[in-house]
Amino acid sequence: MAKVYFGKALAAEYWRLYKGCSIEPAHFDETDEIVDEILSSKARYETVENALGVPWYVVASIHAMESGLDFTRHLHNGDPLDQRTVHMPAGRPAQGEPPFSWEESAIDALRLSRLNRVGEWTLPRMLYELEGYNGWGYRLYHPHVLSPYLWSGTHCYVSGKYTADGRWSDSAKSRQIGAATLIRRLAERGEIAVEEGCSGPIFFYSSGEEPYARELQEFLNGFAGITLRVDGWPGEKTSDAVKELFGFHLEGDPRG
């Protein structure tokens, strides 16, 4: 599968989504139950963090998604630890003999995915690596659906998922709570402080609807002499209003 490369535009997208994708009230209790279970095993996740430098809550989020926080299963794909993995990636860990400890398998899984080589774990990079761990099929082939591996449990995900390898359904819905949802709840509860790592603008010039553009237009309408349609499309008129007030156009405006 083609790889999606990390850059400023993608980092800004992850940042905006994280800020805008609130957890659905219907999933509050379930999300907190998972977070409570994660926190009860924090020391085990920290063992992996200490070995590889991958934040413990990233390890925990992958564990939740791949094996439902079951410590008798491989972090690679949820196969049982009493043998090497059978499903993709098969034959892991390649070294040692089963049964494997959960920590041993987790370290192998994260090294295999090269997460130990990530230099800076900002929020956007974290979400990029988590989405990539599951695969880029949503982004590449079904871009109308945000990956439920990240966003299930928030209002940004409604339906659409792979029901098997290569088999897509627009109506199927993930029953899991996504990794980004869990990280957001950990942050809301004060258990972690994620580094956002995005110094670029929140608002971008666009011919289509953009996150937070309505709020920007409402804000701009509060100033004398500015009257904008609040439609969420930050085009020329919205950019002109930003220029009038702040001395610069929206990022991406071809007029500079």
What pLDDT, on the 0 to 100 scale, is given for residue 10? Answer: 87
CA-nearest of 16, 22, 15 to 185 is 22
d(CA 252, CA 256): 7
- Strand runs labelled E in the chain: 161-164, 167-169
- Predicted TM-score (pTM) of this structure: 0.78
Question: Would the pLDDT of 45 be above 70?
Answer: yes
For the chain, the average pLDDT equals 92
Domain parsing of the chain, residue ranges: 8-188, 203-256
Stretch among 18-22, 36-40, 54-58 having the lowest mean pLDDT: 18-22
Burial class (CB in 10 A: 0-12, 13-18, 19+), 110: buried
Burial class (CB in 10 A: 0-12, 13-18, 19+), 176: middle
Contact 180, 64 (CB under 8 A): no
Q: Are strands 167-169 and 161-164 parallel, antiparallel or unpaired?
A: antiparallel
Q: How many CB atoms lie within 10 A of CB 163?
A: 10
Kindly report, residue by residue over 180-224, the tens digit of the pLDDT.
999 999 999 999 998 766 555 567 888 888 877 888 898 888 888
Kindly report, residue by residue over 111-153, the tens digit of the pLDDT.
999 999 998 999 999 999 999 999 999 999 999 999 999 999 9
For residue 107, what pLDDT band results from cuts at 50, 70 and 90?
Answer: very high
Question: Would the pLDDT of 162 be above 60?
Answer: yes
